[in-house]
Amino acid sequence: MKKLILIFLVFNFVGCTNNKYQEKISNSVRQKFQSKLKPLNKPNYYKIMGRIPTGSELELGRQLFSDTILSRNNDVSCATCHLSNHGFADGNTLNVGTMGKGGPNGDNVGHNFDTGKLSVDRSLGDDGMGFVGQHHMFRNSLSTINVVYRAAQGDDEGLFHDGRFGSIQFQVLLPIHTSEEMCGTNPLPIPAKHKNPFMEMGPIFKSPVKLTHAHSFNAVTGADTGKFNAQPIVVKGVPARRPNGSISVPTRNECLAIAIAKLRLIPKYQKMFKEVYNTSEITDKHLSMALSSFVMTHVSDNSPYDKFVRGENSLSLKQLRGLAMFFTPLGQKVTIDKEVISGTGCIGCHGPPHFGGNSYASLGVRSDHRSPLSRPVSTVSSRGGFFNRPRVQRGLVPTCHIKDVTVSGNYAPDIGRANGSFNEDDCFKFRVPPLRNVIETYPYFHHGTETAVGSTTKSLHQRSLQALKNVLLYHLRGPISIKNYARSNYLKPFFDEFYQTDLLIPYYKQQFTRDAVDVKKVFPMKISDSELNDLLEFVSYGLWDKQAVRNGSLGNDISHPEKVLSGFRPSITRDNGNQLELPSSARAP
């Protein structure tokens, strides 16, 4: 007994001094970086949306977010690629959307159709005609967390890896009419044999659907309307055959119209839309309002960092040292309790309170060649939409790719920000990713190429840590000279031990710092293992708000529902949340 008490006392005493010591360091770090420790304010919904979403509006959004009814083949929902157990990203390198084949466990989503009353007869094959989509998404899924802070209404900048859109209200409709995501490239089923619910003015289109969010340009003439929403479009139905006799593959706007027409057929949705928006008819505008208000409640603002800024003693000693490194410019040192620590200059790009999301830089990260965007611009016509040929023809696509310099065979790096800005200075730059909850959004970089390859652990968390460590090492190595490049390598795995590097991105384009330093002298930066671990601790745990994927910022439920209003099985994930091991089929060859 005596012994126990003694142990207790000693333990308590040590704990106490530790706390005191930590408090001391905590205070001194807080003092040192006072001017840079920016707090994250609660989103001002009224200012952003002109209203504060109600509980029933957010519940409607929650249902729609997980409902496969929005995809043309009823197989994929937003939640397929934005999962709460992956920080609202998806754990894949490049996802596969509707009609998808592949995926982390090789699952063929096309086989998993439900037989709800709206689903097409699948007896002929995956899509009724034996077509199976295999399009990879063009980039790694981004998290929906904190998009609310980048949702300046009407602004044309800030969202996506290339920042090409700003309006979240419009953005939430894009996946529905993007072929790789929810629209698909499969034609309509043959009406002769099977009753076609998508026929012109057929049963699904009881009345025409008027879309207010029309696409930005006429795909045939290339005439640019200048703005999204510019031209309302009326879709009466989808003809089984086009005027030239070919079988219909629904266009982007038709896919959106089909989704609306399907929603109108579900009495439960009709009732709920009426309740929320007091409308007799569901429109794309209401759909956008419900989806966007829901994703705008995915907020991370209560991490240990935030508590620390508010004066709490919430960061561990390692995290405090990591913060000091993160907040100190490259080439400078900072002394914490007599310990001299190297600055790593992260703050120059990943600045608080968002730790990224508002600027662009080129780190020369290799693109995944399976992405439709990893192609020389001359072949870009193979996919439609935003990166479509008319823009190329009209000279709007900036010349980032130069034969023999940035093109190798059929591979050329994703041009990144230049897609959105059409400015050649932006070639190969990507949005600096916001780092809040980054530990949950494995894998990393614009095509998800940082996957902790070589790591043998099955734990997603351990893999995420390993991958993040590689990401940090990649940054600290700095730009590499094109001289070391063996061009024949381009199809090899994108890893040289720790780093993927795109040696097709010229050295002078690679921008690893914004500090006024001599890059050649600073990089590769040598820091000790314990310094690296401190930085990793801060990035992975110091910025982690665990509640962000559990509770919406307006007190709303943001979990994935067991059942959705359409009656379809909600598509939450294609592998039951076990996206731990990426089999070789899901990796770059």
The smaller minimum CB distance to ligand HEC, of residues 264 and 298, is found at 298
Length of the chain: 589
- Could you report how far apart the first and last alpha carbons of the chain are, in Å? 63
Applying CB under 6 A, does 346 fall inside the site for ligand HEC?
Answer: yes
265, HSE (Cβ side, Cα atoms, 13 Å): 22
What residues contact 405, with CB distance under 8 A and at least 6 apart? 504, 506
Alpha helix ranges (H) inside 348-500: 389-393, 418-421, 460-477
Applying CB under 6 A, among 149, 205, 444, 490 the residue interacting with ligand HEC is 444
d(CA 330, CA 393): 43
Single-letter amino acid code for the residue at 472: L
The smaller minimum CB distance to ligand HEC, of residues 200 and 515, is found at 515
To which H or E segment does residue 64 belong? helix 55-66
Applying CB under 6 A, among 137, 323, 397, 543 the residue interacting with ligand HEC is 137
- Tell me the CA distances in angstroms from 122 to 66, 74, 314, one per residue in order: 22, 12, 55
Query: Shortest gap between Cβ of 425 and ligand HEC (angstroms)?
Result: 15
Binding range to ligand HEC, per CB under 6 A, among 22-30, 134-142, 199-207, 224-232: 134-142
d(CA 128, CA 193): 10
Applying CB under 6 A, does 82 fall inside the site for ligand HEC?
Answer: yes
Binding range to ligand HEC, per CB under 6 A, among 16-24, 205-213, 405-413, 442-450: 442-450
Alpha helix ranges (H) inside 449-586: 460-477, 519-522, 529-537
Applying CB under 6 A, does 586 fall inside the site for ligand HEC?
Answer: no
Applying CB under 6 A, does 432 fall inside the site for ligand HEC?
Answer: yes
d(CA 323, CA 309): 12
Residues in region 145-204 near ligand HEC by CB under 6 A: 147, 159-161, 171-172, 175-176, 181-182
x-or-dash string of contact with ligand HEC, 271-300, rule CB under 6 A? --------------------x---x-----
Applying CB under 6 A, does 588 fall inside the site for ligand HEC?
Answer: no
d(CA 528, CA 540): 18
Applying CB under 6 A, does 445 fall inside the site for ligand HEC?
Answer: yes
Single-letter amino acid code for the residue at 534: D
**Is it true that the peptide bond before 353 is cis, omega within 30 degrees of 0?**
yes
The smaller minimum CB distance to ligand HEC, of residues 214 and 240, is found at 214
Applying CB under 6 A, does 370 fall inside the site for ligand HEC?
Answer: no
x-or-dash string of contact with ligand HEC, 35-54, rule CB under 6 A? --------------------
The smaller minimum CB distance to ligand HEC, of residues 237 and 356, is found at 356
The smaller minimum CB distance to ligand HEC, of residues 204 and 439, is found at 439
For the chain, the farthest-separated pair of C-alpha atoms sits apart, in whole angstroms, at: 94
d(CA 572, CA 77): 7
Applying CB under 6 A, does 97 fall inside the site for ligand HEC?
Answer: yes
Query: Shortest gap between Cβ of 157 and ligand HEC (angstroms)?
Result: 11
The smaller minimum CB distance to ligand HEC, of residues 160 and 305, is found at 160
Applying CB under 6 A, does 451 fall inside the site for ligand HEC?
Answer: no
Pair of tokens at residue 271 = 């009732």
Query: Shortest gap between Cβ of 576 and ligand HEC (angstroms)?
Result: 17
* Residue among 197, 79, 97, 77 nearest 137 (CA): 97
Applying CB under 6 A, among 511, 533, 547, 551 the residue interacting with ligand HEC is 511
Query: Shortest gap between Cβ of 24 and ligand HEC (angstroms)?
Result: 26
* Residue among 534, 437, 544 nearest 25 (CA): 534
d(CA 91, CA 324): 30
Query: Shortest gap between Cβ of 150 and ligand HEC (angstroms)?
Result: 6
Residues in region 457-486 near ligand HEC by CB under 6 A: 468, 471-472, 475-476
Residue-wise DSSP of 81-130: HSBGGGTTB-S-SS-B-TT-B--TT--BGGGG----TTSPP-TTSTTSSS
Applying CB under 6 A, does 363 fall inside the site for ligand HEC?
Answer: yes
Applying CB under 6 A, does 512 fall inside the site for ligand HEC?
Answer: yes
Using CB under 6 A as the criterion, which residues of the chain lie in contact with ligand HEC when the complex forms?
70, 76, 78, 80-82, 95, 97, 137, 139, 141-142, 144, 147, 159-161, 171-172, 175-176, 181-182, 291, 295, 344-346, 348-350, 361, 363, 365, 430, 432-433, 435, 438, 441, 444-446, 468, 471-472, 475-476, 511-514, 535, 539
